[in-house]
Each structure stands twice: as C-alpha cells, then as structure tokens.
Amino acid sequence: MSASGNLWVVGYGAGLGESLVSRFAREGFDVTALSRHTPDSALTAARHDRLDVLAPDVSERLSRLMADHGVPDVLVYNVGMFLRGAWSELSEADFRACWERMVLGAFRIAKDVLPAMATRGSGSAIFSGATASLRGGAEFAAFASAKFALRGLVQALARSYQPAGVHVAHVILDGVIAGSARGTQFIARLDPDAIAECYWTLSQQPSGAWTHELDLRGANEPF
C-alpha cells in the first residue's frame, strides 16, 4: 500500500489513539477519529466524528462517513471496555456490555467497511487485542471472554477477506499503554508511539508477506 490514503481510528482516545493520528498524519494520511464522546483536547491532525458502535443507526452513519470521506485505506478498531472484578461480583449486564463493545461493535464496523474495501480490492483492518486475548485471569471473566471472541472474529475475517486483497490483522497489546486512561492506575510499560509505528508497518506490508497476528509488549514487561 502506498504511503497516502485515509485512516479511521474507531474508539479514539488518549494514548494509542493520539499516537495513531500523529503517525499516519505524518505520512500525509487524511485521518478520522471516531468515538462516542468529544475528545478532551482539540485535534489538530485529524477530524473527529461521534460514533457509537452500538447505536441503532451505526450502519447509516458509516455509509455517510464513507460517502463523505471515502472508504478507509486503514481501519483501526480500538474500542475497549476494561472490566476487572471477582466472578462473584460480575453481573450479567456488565458481562453483556463488555462483549457488546468489543465484539458486537467490531462485527458491525467490519460488516460495512470490509466489503467496501473488498470491492475496491485493497485495505488494512487492524483490531486491538490484549493479554486477555490469550489468557483468562481470575478477575477478567468478562474482559477475557470478549477479547477471546474478538480474536476469533478477526481470524475469520482475515480468512474471508484475504482473497479480496484486504489485510486483516489482530494485535495483542500485552500491558498497560502509557498515556491511556489506565496508564495512571497501573504501571504503564507500553509506549503508544512505538505501537503506532507497528500499526503503520502492518498497514504498509506488501501482500507477499502479511502478518495476521502481532504480539507486542514493553521490554520490561514480564510474560
């Protein structure tokens, strides 16, 4: 893929979202940041549009976005809902909410955007996973089950859309990202700029050697 085009960051926020905007804008990309809420600070290298992946009209919103700004050359799905707690305290409502944000939301975005990429014959879709994509901790029943499901969905999408020239990848982010909402609560060992560089590299891989899953962690992160 050439170093020009447009990027959508679905689930834009502090930390990785900011770094993705900066990294792709530096290459001349037109960047659209999408999130449920207006960012706390003004964006200088991207436009922002409000998008709730669970809203009833999400398909219509996506169609309008593609009509206004074009089918994204690179899509990053970075929607998350961090939920930690003892199994005995986990409610069905919280369990469902976690799954809906990270899996159903990804399904809805992919349902509209990936066929448009396939029609064009190119594009990259990168989905952010976590340590919990591979391992379910005692206090992470909701979070891990959702991340496991997202990983399975992405594997299916990769196999479905690879023949059409669409590169679908899953990135396991093992650790807390500096600058993110959780970066003030836990030890943050993942550098968002370094992650954004890896996402950039993924989006630019030639079709002769596509990465479908990438495992990232800071060098001082135990594993």
pLDDT in tens, 22-39: 999 999 999 999 999 888
Q: Is residue 138 part of a domain?
A: yes
Higher-confidence position of 201 and 82: 201
Residue 221 domain-assigned (yes or no): no
Residue 183 within a domain: yes
Lowest mean pLDDT among 24-38, 50-64, 111-125, 179-193: 179-193
- Find out whether 106 and 121 touch, Cβ atoms under 8 Å: no
How sure is the predictor about 4, in pLDDT bands with cuts at 50, 70 and 90? Answer: confident
In a domain, 34, yes or no: yes
The amino acid that residue 94 corresponds to is D
Report the C-alpha gap between 110 and 187 in whole angstroms. Answer: 33
Q: What is the mean pLDDT of residues 175-188?
A: 72
- Supply the mean pLDDT for the chain: 93
**Residue type for 50, please?**
R
* CATH number of the domain encompassing residue 17: 3.40.50.720
182-223 confidence digits (pLDDT tens): 656 667 689 999 999 999 999 999 999 999 999 999 988 888
Q: Are 199 and 20 in contact (CB under 8 A)?
A: yes
* Residue (of 168, 212, 220, 159) closest to 194 by Cα position: 220
Tell me the residue range of the domain where 72 lies. Answer: 6-216
Report if residue 223 sits inside a domain: no
Q: In terms of DSSP H, where are the helices of 42-103?
A: 58-69, 92-99
pLDDT digits (tens, 9 = 90+) for 135-159: 999 999 999 999 999 999 999 999 9
- Cβ 3 vs Cβ 18: under 8 Å: no
Residue 17 located in a structural domain: yes
Whether residue 86 is contained in a domain is answered as: yes
Question: Rounded to 5 degrees, what are φ and ψ at 66?
Answer: -70, -35
What pTM was computed for the model? 0.94
Are 27 and 39 in contact by the 8 Å Cβ rule? The answer is no
Please tell me the distance from the alpha carbon of residue 221 to that of residue 54, in angstroms, as a whole number: 34
Amino acid 78 reads N
Domains in the chain: how many in total? 1
Q: What is the pLDDT of residue 189?
A: 84
In this predicted structure, what is the pLDDT of residue 2? 47
Is residue 1, in this structure, part of any structural domain at all?
A: no
Whether 174 contacts 132, CB under 8 Å? no
Give me the pLDDT at residue 158, please.
Answer: 98
